[in-house]
Amino acid sequence: MKNPQQDTSNTINVSSEIGRLRRLLIHSPDRGLGKVIPSKAQDWLFEDIVHLDMMRRDEYDYYVKILLYFLDPDKVRGRIANLGPDSDRNFYKPDHSEYFRSDKVIDIQCLLSDILADDGIRTRLIAAICGIERTAFRTQQQLNEHDPIELAKIMISGTLTDQTMLFAPLPNFIFTRDIGIVINDHILLNKPAKQARTREALLAQYIFFNHPIFASYQDKIIEIPDNEHAFLLPEADAKSDVTRSTLEGGDVMMIARRHLIVGVSERTTLYAAQQVTRLVFEKNLVDTVTIVKIPKKRDYMHIDTVFTQVRRDMWVLLGSLARTGDEAQQRDVLHFFAPKDLSEELKIMQFSREHPDEPLEINNLEDLFTGISQNDLGVTEPVKFIYSGNNEFPFGAREQWTDSCNLLALKDGVVVGYDRNPKTADAFRAAGFEIIPVAKLLDRFERGESSPETIENTFIMLPSAELSRARGGSHCMSLPLLRDGV
């Protein structure tokens, strides 16, 4: 069997959000998550501390199993009953000989281990990390004593095997979507907005520019430039969206072969969105870029926290940012909350490569999505919308907070989401979807009663008591590298 991490034969190409998923990057919760403490949780971009073992065993392991069943079924078919009770969980540990090591479901920790086997890369990366973390020179020497597999774990978790913390963990590394995005056959790397994610971006750069699976894509890696004059600007200007260049993958969606959506949010600046637009037009990667500016609120964070695509003709979104709304619900909001919660600014501007200086303003998300489904994806029937919390007050906002809109499409009409959003599930059920817990679906697959090939119009419910504390859903926890065309 070939070593999957050395296999460079698989194509990297993503031209939609809903084409059959074939290959992706993930990162399983590591020991660093178990070091997050209440006083630092929000600094490290978590809303709460998590129970690490429960997050792994009862939640994320199911995510891995369903991904493997769809993308690399030979790794798990016939084994599901035995994997659950295994207290050692060696199947899920990237550093263990019994790890599943798929070339379709790839843990980024494995890729980091691979490149750290190169002495030159190892030396440079240790020095870079120690510079960022401002460690002592002796720490650099200490890190160099570890083998590549253990060193990768330390670089991600910030923690030695004996539980000594050298530097802060990277709890957000499980959200691989944010480190980059594939635009057709190019890879756009991020520039994180928050200090807590700086080391993530550095690790991602080293992996994408040095790992063999990306060797043939070196001239197709896109990095967003900084404003070259930003360091000359006054402090206030240097921190403004006009001059700052920060970008995270949760704000970028390759929605159709020639259409890219870029969000301007709490984490991605207008300047960066403009730079992405310029670069993808220059490289002739797309014909259309739609910039969606959402309110800068912790509730929303990225555009994929307020909408994702479910099917060619169906989208899930937050009702308070939508055209459709019930005036009585708005009055309820006005009654209970400050009026400013009603003035949630949403602006949508669409740019074409042929006429980049003549943007089209789109009034609302439903019109945007209808246009994409009909004009880019060839839908002829009416486009359908699922609203967070079934658009019922106050469940729309409550369930958006627990990632009701943050769904990963495994294929057209089959999505993975969290089990703690019952009103949103009701809306899917009313739209003709089967709502099924992931464990039950896996059992069906094992019994031969269903298969990834035959399943359709299904919402797969992932346990999420601990995962939802991290403020990211199944869409966030994936970096698709290859999807079938739509």
pLDDT in tens, 205-259: 999 999 999 999 999 999 987 765 555 555 545 555 556 789 999 999 999 999 9
Host H or E run for residue 142: helix 137-143
Predicted confidence band of residue 315 (pLDDT cuts 50, 70, 90): very high
pLDDT at 437: 98
The CA-CA-CA angle for residues 408, 413, 417, to 5°, reads 35
pLDDT (0 to 100) of residue 342: 42
CB atoms closer than 10 angstroms to residue 185: 15
Q: What is the pLDDT of residues 256-287, one digit of tens each?
A: 999 999 999 988 999 999 999 999 999 999 99
Answer yes or no: is pLDDT of 417 > 80.
yes
Total number of domains constituting the chain? 1
pLDDT of residue 336: 45
For 179, the token pair is 């480190």
- DSSP codes, 90-149: GGG-TTSTTS---SSEEEHHHHHHHHTTSHHHHHHHHHHHHHHHT--HHHHHHHTTS-HH
- Is residue 134 classed exposed, middle or buried when 0-12, 13-18 and 19+ CB atoms within 10 A define those classes? exposed
Count CB atoms within 10 A of the CB of residue 260.
Answer: 25
Domain with 228, as residue range(s), is 4-483
In the Cβ-directed half-sphere of 262, how many Cα atoms lie within 13 Å? 30
What φ, ψ does residue 208 adopt, rounded to 5°? -70, -30
Predicted structure pTM score = 0.91
Residue 1 is predicted with a pLDDT of 33
| DSSP codes, 150-190 | HHHHHHHH-B-TTS-BSS---GGGG-GGGGEEEEBTEEEEP
Task: Summarize pLDDT for 14-26 with one digit per residue, the tens.
Answer: 999 999 999 999 9
Alpha-carbon distance of 45 to 56, in angstroms, equals 19
Given a cut of 90, whether residue 119 has pLDDT beyond it is yes
CA angle 176–177–181, rounded 5-degree value: 120
**What is residue 237's predicted lDDT score, i.e. its pLDDT?**
54
Which one-letter DSSP state was computed for residue 76?
A: T
> Is 50 exceeded by the pLDDT of residue 49?
yes
H helix runs in 361-456, sequence order: 365-371, 395-401, 422-430, 438-447
**Pairing status of strand 434-437 against strand 408-411:** unpaired
Task: Please report, as a single letter, which amino acid is at residue 126.
Answer: I
Radius of gyration in angstroms for the set of CA atoms belonging to the chain, rounded to a whole number = 22
CATH for 289? 3.75.10.10
pLDDT confidence tier of residue 298, bands split at 50, 70 and 90: confident
Burial (CB count within 10 angstroms: exposed 0-12, middle 13-18, buried 19+), residue 431 = middle
Residue 60, classed as helix, strand or coil, is: helix
- Write down the pLDDT at residue 384: 97
Alpha helices in 256-412 (DSSP H): 270-282, 327-336, 365-371, 395-401
CA geometry: angle 476, 318, 28, nearest 5 deg: 15
Give the pLDDT band (50/70/90) at residue 165. Answer: confident
Residue 394: cis peptide before it, omega within 30 degrees of 0: yes
- Rounded to 5°, the CA angle 343-348-354 comes to 165
Task: Specify whether the CB–CB gap between 470 and 176 falls below 8 A.
Answer: no
User: What is the biggest distance separating any 2 CA atoms in the chain, rounded to whole angstroms?
Assistant: 65
Distance, CA of 211 to CA of 290 (rounded, Å): 32
| 363 three-class SS | coil
151, 154, 155, 156 alpha-carbon torsion, rounded to 10°: 130
What single DSSP character describes residue 308? E
| pLDDT band at 324; cut points 50, 70, 90 | low
